[in-house]
Every structure is written in structure tokens, then in C-alpha cells.
């Protein structure tokens, strides 16, 4: 009974969160003192915390509409916001559409967790990449399938249909998740690939935003989905431990995401790591990624005061804001990326003034 109450409490929390995030798209208009941003739902709980603290400390108003990474990219391409936000990097097509260079500033890292609704399972589920791919391909359709039993020895798995849930919107969280599926399965990579949207081979439901996925899984016994870790915590949903590339069973944590980042090589000549999924190392959590803020090099479409507020907010996020990340289940940036981000903001400030 207690677990059922927790689940319904989590459902109400997610409904409240969804209502806050669905306040309507707010475009950045001339003469508007509030700084507007829009995009990824992945970092939305943390961004809400940052915005509240920043406004309390500085008196500067910032708003953020969690409309998904695809929406955030669209909003910055059309200059409808002061900053966009995405968990996926810009594509070549996005850059071709932009009328000026857009910086992609890493803000924090976070894990994507596999949530499930198995009310009678008392111990945490353990899944490996091959089994997860089989579930999302529609080849594994029941929870007592031998492939799931193989990584959950001693657990009594229910004879219950699996209801696969995925994002309905253009999503950076989907990008991270499908990047992982592609990394562990040639079949998935060749047939469906990775991206903010994919042609899902099977669907038992879909949701808008991370909160939408969590709601879908909460109300559907046998449901499975993928969300940023803080949404699992908010909803009270169980999430699986994952078997990583080295065969170790790993849970999402600041340490395991840091290990994944540390064990992923940078692109030659840079500190950038576009993908940190399926990293080697026994401590690495296998499904994690960066979330980015998108800002134009040319900020002249904003007023001088808006430019100052934007640069102050992003500087605060890369410094004081990092201290808030861990409490909400996110992982602070490595120091070298903080330094790189601050250097870009200093360049923007010099150009603007």
C-alpha cells in the first residue's frame, strides 16, 4: 500500500511540474526586462533552481520554457529567445539555417535512467544493453522473458506485458538514449540510428518531455521508459541498474557519470566529448550526456541590458550554479569546460561592448 501511495504522490508531483513547464512559449521581445530561454526538459529542474537563486541574488528575472531540445534549437535559430537549450549538439542542417555562429556551452552532465513500473518486484531490476535493445526493438515483449531473467537471477519476474514508452517530441534525452542503443547494437544503429527523433519500431505509448514519459510509466503496469534521473526521483519511479561496457553493474550517480566522462577520449585538439555513452571502465554509468545552452555570437538583437543580464546569468550558472547540481542529481562540469565556457562569455562581452 505504501508503494502505491508513493507512486500516486509521484504522479501528482509530475502533473504539477508539467503545469509549471507548460506555461506557454515566451519570446524575447524588445523592451521586455525578463530574460527568456527555452529548450530541453532534461535540465529543467536544475534550471528552475538556478533561475530562482539567480533572481534572489541579483534581482534579474529569467524565464525558461521546457519545450524539448528540438524546440529550443528552433527558438534560437529564429532568435525568439535570448538562449536556447539542448541535450543534443546542433546538426549541420541547423548550422546552415542559422544566420550567425551559435556557441554550444556545456552547462552540466546528467544520467538517463531506465524507469519501469513493476509493482510486485521488490529488488531493483538489472538490465544490459543487449536486452534493452531487444525490448525497444519489440523482440522482448514480456517481463519474464529469459533474457531479462538472465541478468536478474533469483528475482521472480512477473508474467506481464512490457509497454514500451518513448518521447513524442524532438528530444535531446532521446538523442542520448538512442546514441547508447546505437553504441551497443549494430542492428539498432543500422536500422534506426540516433537522434532527437527516430522511427521507433514499437510503441506502447509516448509522452511530451521527461515528465510526460514518467507519467506514462507511472500509470501503466509493465511500463518502461527513459528519463533524466531527477524525474525518476521526483516521481518515485524505480529505475534499473545497468551492466556497463566492462560488465560491471552500475547505478547513476555523480561519481559514475564523472567516470564515464573521464573515460571518454576528447575530440583531437579539443576538450569536447560529444558523446560519453557506453564508456569503458568498471565505474562508468553507460547512459549519460551533457546538456548545452545555445547563444549567438552576435547578440545585437538583444538590448544592451539584456546582453549584460544574459552574460551574468550564464557566468553565474557556470560558477555558483555548479554547486547546486549534485543535490538535484546532476553532475557538475569538469573544470576545463568551465574555463572554456567562461572564456567564450568573456569574448561575447568584449564583442558586445
Domains of the chain by residue range: 2-109+291-352, 112-288
Cell 518515485 belongs to which residue?
236
Which helix (H) or strand (E) segment is 233 a member of? helix 229-235
328: DSSP letter: G
Classify domain 2-109+291-352 by CATH architecture.
Answer: 3-Layer(aba) Sandwich (3.40)
Return the ∠ at Cα 83 (arms to 31 and 15), rounded to 5°.
100
Q: Report d(CA 155, CA 178) in Å as an integer.
A: 28
- What was the pLDDT predicted at 31? 62
Handedness of CA 296, 302, 308, 314 (dihedral sign): negative
Per-residue pLDDT of the chain (353 residues; tens, 9 = 90+): 444 444 443 444 444 454 444 445 566 665 677 899 999 999 999 999 999 999 999 999 999 999 999 999 999 999 999 999 999 999 999 999 999 999 999 999 999 999 999 988 989 999 999 999 999 999 999 999 999 999 999 889 999 999 999 999 999 999 999 999 999 999 999 999 999 999 999 999 999 999 999 999 999 999 999 999 999 999 999 999 999 999 999 999 999 999 999 999 998 887 789 999 999 999 999 999 999 999 999 999 999 999 999 999 999 999 999 999 999 999 999 999 999 999 999 999 998 87
Residue pair 243/151 in contact (Cβ under 8 Å)? The answer is yes
* Backbone region of residue 220 per phi and psi (left: phi > 0; alpha: psi in -120 to 50; beta: other values): beta
- What was the pLDDT predicted at 28? 62
Residue pair 75/84 in contact (Cβ under 8 Å)? The answer is yes
Return the ∠ at Cα 138 (arms to 134 and 144), rounded to 5°.
70
DSSP one-letter string for 81-133: SSEEEESSPPPHHHHHH-SS-EEEEEEEEEEEEEEE--TT--S--EEEHHHHH
Residue pair 229/110 in contact (Cβ under 8 Å)? The answer is yes
3-state SS assignment for residue 69: helix
Classify domain 112-288 by CATH architecture.
Answer: 3-Layer(aba) Sandwich (3.40)
- What was the pLDDT predicted at 353? 79
Greatest alpha-carbon span in the chain:
66
Handedness of CA 282, 283, 287, 293 (dihedral sign): negative
- What was the pLDDT predicted at 223? 97
Residue pair 287/303 in contact (Cβ under 8 Å)? The answer is no
Q: For residue 162, what is its C-alpha cell?
A: 512490457
- What was the pLDDT predicted at 4? 41
Q: How many CA atoms lie within 13 A of 47 on its CB side?
A: 29
Residues in contact with 229: Cβ distance below 8 Å, sequence separation at least 6, in sequence order = 110, 111, 112, 113, 239, 252, 329
**Identical fold between 2-109+291-352 and 112-288:** yes
- What was the pLDDT predicted at 85? 98
Nearest to 88 by CA among 210, 175, 170, 167: 175
- What was the pLDDT predicted at 20? 42
Q: Report d(CA 42, CA 23) in Å as an integer.
A: 17
- What was the pLDDT predicted at 272? 84
Q: Report d(CA 43, CA 51) in Å as an integer.
A: 12
Q: Report d(CA 197, CA 309) in Å as an integer.
A: 33
Residue pair 254/30 in contact (Cβ under 8 Å)? The answer is no
- What was the pLDDT predicted at 3? 46
- What was the pLDDT predicted at 286? 98
Handedness of CA 343, 349, 352, 353 (dihedral sign): negative
Amino acid at each position: 500500500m505504501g508503494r502505491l501511495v508513493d507512486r500516486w504522490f509521484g504522479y501528482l508531483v509530475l502533473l504539477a511540474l508539467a503545469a509549471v513547464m507548460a506555461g506557454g512559449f515566451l519570446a524575447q521581445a524588445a523592451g521586455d526586462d525578463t530574460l527568456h530561454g527555452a529548450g530541453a526538459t532534461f535540465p529543467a529542474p536544475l534550471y528552475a533552481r538556478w533561475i530562482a537563486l539567480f533572481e534572489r541574488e541579483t534581482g534579474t528575472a529569467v524565464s525558461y520554457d521546457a519545450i524539448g531540445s528540438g524546440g529550443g534549437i528552433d527558438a534560437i535559430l529564429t532568435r525568439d529567445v535570448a538562449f536556447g537549450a539542448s541535450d543534443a549538439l546542433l546538426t549541420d542542417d541547423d548550422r546552415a539555417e542559422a544566420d550567425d555562429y551559435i556557441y554550444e556551452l556545456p552547462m552540466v552532465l546528467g544520467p538517463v535512467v531506465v524507469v519501469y513500473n513493476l509493482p510486485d518486484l521488490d529488488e531493483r531490476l538489472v538490465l544490459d544493453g543487449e536486452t534493452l535493445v531487444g525490448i525497444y526493438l519489440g523482440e522482448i515483449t514480456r517481463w519474464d522473458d529469459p533474457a531479462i531473467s538472465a541478468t536478474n537471477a533469483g528475482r521472480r519476474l512477473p508474467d506481464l506485458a512490457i509497454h514500451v514508452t518513448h518521447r513524442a517530441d524532438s528530444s535531446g534525452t532521446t538523442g542520448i538514449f538512442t546514441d547508447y542503443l546505437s553504441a551497443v547494437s549494430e542492428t539498432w544503429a543500422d536500422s534506426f540510428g540516433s537522434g532527437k527523433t527516430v522511427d521507433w519500431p514499437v510503441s506502447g505509448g509516448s509522452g511530451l518531455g521527461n515528465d510526460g514519459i514518467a507519467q506514462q510509466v507511472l500509470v501503466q503496469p509493465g511500463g518502461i521508459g527513459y528519463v533524466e534521473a531527477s524525474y525518476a526521483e521526483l516521481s518515485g519511479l524505480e529505475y534499473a541498474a545497468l551492466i556497463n561496457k566492462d560488465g560491471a553493474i552500475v547505478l547513476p550517480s555523480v561519481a559514475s557519470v564523472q567516470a564515464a566522462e573521464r573515460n571518454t577520449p576528447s575530440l583531437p585538439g579539443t576538450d569536447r566529448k560529444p558523446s560519453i555513452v557506453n564508456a569503458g571502465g568498471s565505474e562508468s554509468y553507460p547512459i549519460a550526456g551533457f546538456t548545452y545552452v545555445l547563444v549567438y555570437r552576435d547578440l545585437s538583437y538583444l538590448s544592451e541590458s539584456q546582453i549584460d543580464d544574459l552574460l551574468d546569468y550564464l557566468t553565474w550558472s557556470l560558477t555558483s550554479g555548479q554547486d547546486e547540481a549534485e543535490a538535484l542529481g546532476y553532475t557538475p562540469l569538469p573544470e576545463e569546460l568551465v574555463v572554456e565556457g567562461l572564456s567564450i562569455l568573456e569574448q561575447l562581452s568584449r564583442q558586445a561592448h
